Amino acid sequence: MIALGCDHGGYDLKVEVIKYLEEKNIPYKDFGCEGHESVDYPEYARKVANAIVDGQCDKGILICGTGIGISIAANKVKGIRCALCSDCFSAEATREHNNANILALGGRVVGPGLAIKIVDTFLNTEFSNDERHIRRINLIEE
């Protein structure tokens, strides 16, 4: 299950991501927000991050205006590796090398077409299980 969260700056892109997930029959849980009214992104980052750490969801997608603030907030939660990606190469690399469990997107940075390609890449790329990447992730977790 995919955990979704956004602030007002990411709401429109979250709607597009939901359409993609529904078309692909990918289960998700939407932790908000629900519109364009100004909200505080750390609340939604925390909800999504905690859903992953608690085992309710496998991966997450967070969206704010730039993706920067919401990714910083998510990475404050122990066990979260949230990567801000604006291209497919980064989405693939962060899954293969970092085993990132949350993708962050900037709703004012990437358009919906590219965003969906990034989401698709992130969700369909497996962690490499390479010993050097495991060692590095363990160092991050320490």
32: left (phi over 0), alpha (psi -120 to 50) or beta: left
- The residue whose two tokens read 């990475």 is 75
Catalytic site includes residue 97: yes
| Length of the chain (residues) | 142
**C-alpha–C-alpha distance, residues 91 and 78, integer Å:** 21
**C-alpha–C-alpha distance, residues 5 and 125, integer Å:** 21
Catalytic site includes residue 36: no
Assigned token pair, 66: 């730039």
Catalytic position from the list 6, 33, 57, 64 = 64
Mutual angle of helices 11-23 and 112-124, in 10-degree steps: 50
Catalytic residues: 64, 97
